[in-house]
């Protein structure tokens, strides 16, 4: 009696190089990725694997989400590491976000119309994207508020979508507050955040 050969796994999922060259991935493709797919974002039809965050990054993310969960009004909901549908071929994963409380829990991609605040925590591997690309994309998609958090030391930069237009005619963010000690804002709700509370 002979044993059946054991099927070998073809290896972990990775984007199709031809589709990457054509840049024709869509949000629908993202929703149908296999379970073994890595953490990815979709940028102009190209699937990009996102680097793993550091412990310090995750500590800040957790503490901020906890703070927002405890302080935001009931019609808003705090979440971590959730995808946001920016266009038909672009989605980003916000480190932390505030969305409308009525958004169904089963979603892995949220419409920008349901996002009130998107937050990115800057790491060495994400500096350019978090400081330039993501705020431009979030503002163009209509997300009203954006926070950028720098590490070492922890410093919060709070932005609001303003009337100034960018090169492509889209509205851009304008800085409304920044501090390594205390952030006080009236929008998107009454905020008095001691930066020490989100510092690991």
Omega before residue 123 within 30° of 0, cis? no
The pLDDT of residue 1 is: 46
Low-confidence ranges of the chain (pLDDT < 70): 1-11
Residue whose entry in the numeric block shows the structure tokens 């163009």: 140
Instruction: Tell me the pLDDT tens digit for each residue of 19-62.
Output: 999 999 999 998 888 888 888 999 999 999 888 899 999 999 99
Q: Which domains does the chain have, with CATH numbers?
A: 17-49 (no CATH), 55-198 (3.90.1570.10)
Contact 90/44 with Cβ under 8 angstroms? yes
Strands 109-110, 76-87: pairing kind: parallel
The pLDDT of residue 10 is: 62
Alpha helices in the chain (DSSP H): 17-22, 27-31, 55-71, 127-128, 134-140
- pTM to 2 decimals? 0.90
Closest CA to 68 of 138, 130, 115: 115
The pLDDT of residue 4 is: 53
The pLDDT of residue 126 is: 87
């Amino acid at each position: 009696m002979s044993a059946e050969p054991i099927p070998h796994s073809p290896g972990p999922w990775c984007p199709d190089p031809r589709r990457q060259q054509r840049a024709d991935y869509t949000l629908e493709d993202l929703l149908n990725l296999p379970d073994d797919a890595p953490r990815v974002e979709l940028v102009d039809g190209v699937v990009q694997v996102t680097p793993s965050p550091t412990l310090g990054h995750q500590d800040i993310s957790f503490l901020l989400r906890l703070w927002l969960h405890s302080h935001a009004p009931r019609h808003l909901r705090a979440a971590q590491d959730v995808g946001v549908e920016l266009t038909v071929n672009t989605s980003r994963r916000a480190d932390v976000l505030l969305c409308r409380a009525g958004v169904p829990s089963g979603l892995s991609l949220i419409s920008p119309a349901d996002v009130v605040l998107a937050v990115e925590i800057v790491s060495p591997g994400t500096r350019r994207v978090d400081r330039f690309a993501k705020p431009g994309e979030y503002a163009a998609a209509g997300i009203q508020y954006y926070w950028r958090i720098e590490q070492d030391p922890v410093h919060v930069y709070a932005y609001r979508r303003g009337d100034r237009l960018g090169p492509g005619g889209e509205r851009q963010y304008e800085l409304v507050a920044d501090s390594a000690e205390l952030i006080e804002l009236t929008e998107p709700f009454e905020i008095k955040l001691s930066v020490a509370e989100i510092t690991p």
